[in-house]
Amino acid sequence: MDDFEKEYPGFDWKNTPAYKHPGGRNCPCPKHEYIREQINFTKQVNKKGNDPSKVTLKFCPEHYKVYLDEVIPAMPLKYKLLTKIALKLGAIQIHQLTHMQSDMCFYCKFGSGGHERKSELPPVD
């Protein structure tokens, strides 16, 4: 985070849409780090596509909006389509938490800059 702010002083990465960031999808900002983490997680889920298990992602209000408006549209076409199909079929469910439940948010726990940052994403069962 500090390196990003040194490289791009004054750049407002929080309020600038992801597609307008410097470096495109290789931008080193926390928003793009999160998008890359979500794409990798989606790849893991889609590789186990024959397994009928359901995945439930829980997001606080801010990350819920980021996931639907920025993460899914930034995915490569194949994974974007598979994710949208999985959402419609109910294989992946997304729940929006209240601000009081932010400690259960997938990104707040496992994403970069989260409160209880873990070194890995949780295993997909």
The two three-digit tokens of residue 80, written as one number: 């974007």
Tell me: the pLDDT tens digits for 5-30?
777 777 787 777 777 777 777 788 87
49 assigned to some structural domain: yes
* Dihedral of alpha carbons 98, 13, 16, 31, sign: negative
CB atoms within 10 A of CB 12: 7
> Which residue from 60, 55, 64 is spatially nearest to 103, judged by alpha carbons?
60
Residue 84 lies in a domain: yes
Is it the case that residue 89 has pLDDT exceeding 80? Answer: yes
**Is 6 contained in some domain?**
no
pLDDT for 48 equals 64
Number of domains forming the structure of the chain:
1
**Burial call 61-92: b when 16+ CB within 10 Å, e when fewer:** eebbebbeebbbebbeeebbebbeebeeeebb
Is 14 within a domain? no
Among 85, 121, 91, smallest CA distance to 106 is for 121
Domain that holds residue 76: 30-110
Mean pLDDT of 70-99: 86
Residues 41, 122: contact at Cβ < 8 Å? no
Global confidence as pTM: 0.48
